Chains A and B, each alone.
Chain A
Amino acid sequence: MTYEEPRGALLAEEGRLPAERVALVDLLDRLLAGGVVVSGDLVLSIADIDLVRISIHALITSIRDDE
């Protein structure tokens, strides 16, 4: 997804990109390394997930910050 100049300006006027057109990898950057991390009475947070399959493990750790 490359947006040439007036496209970038145009997008902001038109509003946001439809969710289905967002690249998954850009989304995962934000959802796995961004967003607030909360605590409290959590049943589960993504930090608890111990990924076993190497390919996905590598993928997730390639996105996550060293936290």
Chain B
Amino acid sequence: MTGEAGTYLYVVARDSGAPSPDGLTGVAGTPVRAVARAGLVAYVSTVPLSQFGEEPLQRSMEDLDWLDETARAHHHVVEAVASAVPAVPVRLVTVYSGDEQVAGLLEDRHDAFRQALERITGRQEWGVKVYADPAEQAEPAAAQDRAGAATGPGAAYLRKRQAGLRSREEAWRRASVRAEQVHERLASVAVAGRRHRAQDPQLSGRKEWMVLNGAYLVDEERHAEFVRAVDELRREGGELELTGPWAPYSFATLDEAGEP
């Protein structure tokens, strides 16, 4: 099979109690299989390297429709497993040369996978985004115009422009401070918090500033408390968007061997 097909890896779980992959479809319409080793199970599918080789993939990745389809197919497999048992998702497009190499990974990184699974067991990831409207945030800069010594339309224009820039900077600064407060408050209810980069307005389709794109790993028993915190923060002002629960994508990490 080498040179023609690869083994695409989606997600890893503990072997006991893990759902059957039968009937599950992965990327490029390929059927999902399970590779078990060392008490762990990896969900994989065989993908043609004509699509998932380095060169074809460079082209495919630049096709937003392909990326959409592939991301959703990957997510579908992760969800099927993660909604049933604790599961560690793998980054999009991770392709091994064959099943034996995946089994080798489960064996070699067994302890790291077990630790990663323990970290996320009984917990869910939630996303919270905070938007700020630049127009609402900016305060009138009229006060700064009053004491202006220079006269003439040119000087007035420059003063106005500078004041406008200052107020925009000030608005941004305040929105950032607010984002930090929201993040800290939510992280205090969560086991862990992480800030993703703000989404590109082209992708989010929103003109407001995204000042926080947070992900929070929350104990299931503290879920109600977390939702209450989101609600309180929302009442304090600013637009908060809650998404989830997600499989613990943002908190799936393997500690390096040797590290505590």
Q: Is there contact, CB below 8 Å, between B71 and A31? A: yes
Judged by a CB distance under 8 angstroms, whether B254 is at the interface is: yes
Tally A-B pairs: CB < 8 A.
Answer: 182
The docked-state distance in angstroms from the alpha carbon of A49 to that of B74 is: 18
| Given contacts A5-B231, A38-B109, A40-B105, A33 and B58 within 8 Å (CB-CB) | no
Q: Which residues of B contact A48 (CB under 8 A)?
A: 54
Residue of A with least CB distance to B230 = A8
The docked-state distance in angstroms from the alpha carbon of A24 to that of B66 is: 12
Interface string of B75-105 (1 = CB under 8 A from A): 1100100010000111111111100010011
Q: Which residues of A contact B52 (CB under 8 A)?
A: 43-44
- Checking A12, A50, A59, A65 against B203 with a beta-carbon cut-off of 8 angstroms, the contacting residue is A59
A window 24-63: CB within 8 A of B: 24-38, 40-46, 48-53, 56, 58-60, 62-63
Q: Is there contact, CB below 8 Å, between B96 and A42? A: yes
Q: Which residues of A contact B202 (CB under 8 A)?
A: 59
| Given contacts A36-B254, A50-B58, A29 and B213 within 8 Å (CB-CB) | yes
The docked-state distance in angstroms from the alpha carbon of A34 to that of B216 is: 13
The docked-state distance in angstroms from the alpha carbon of A67 to that of B109 is: 21
Question: A interface, how many residues as a size bin?
Answer: 35 or more
Q: Is there contact, CB below 8 Å, between A63 and B91? A: no
The docked-state distance in angstroms from the alpha carbon of A36 to that of B61 is: 20
Q: Which residues of B contact A49 (CB under 8 A)?
A: 54, 57-58, 61, 93
The docked-state distance in angstroms from the alpha carbon of A43 to that of B101 is: 10
Judged by a CB distance under 8 angstroms, whether B45 is at the interface is: no
Judged by a CB distance under 8 angstroms, whether B172 is at the interface is: no
Distance in Å: Cβ of B206 to nearest Cβ of chain A: 10
- Checking A2, A15, A60, A62 against B61 with a beta-carbon cut-off of 8 angstroms, the contacting residue is A60
Distance in Å: Cβ of B194 to nearest Cβ of chain A: 8
A window 1-32: CB within 8 A of B: 1-3, 5, 8-9, 11-12, 15-17, 19-20, 22-32
Binds A, one of B141-149, B163-171, B182-190, B240-248: B240-248
- Checking B93, B204, B223, B252 against A25 with a beta-carbon cut-off of 8 angstroms, the contacting residue is B204
Q: Which residues of B contact A17 (CB under 8 A)?
A: 243-244
B window 234-260: CB within 8 A of A: 234, 239, 241-246, 249-254
Report the 4 A-B pairs with minimum CB-CB distance, sorted nearest first: A30-B249, A34-B249, A35-B91, A41-B101
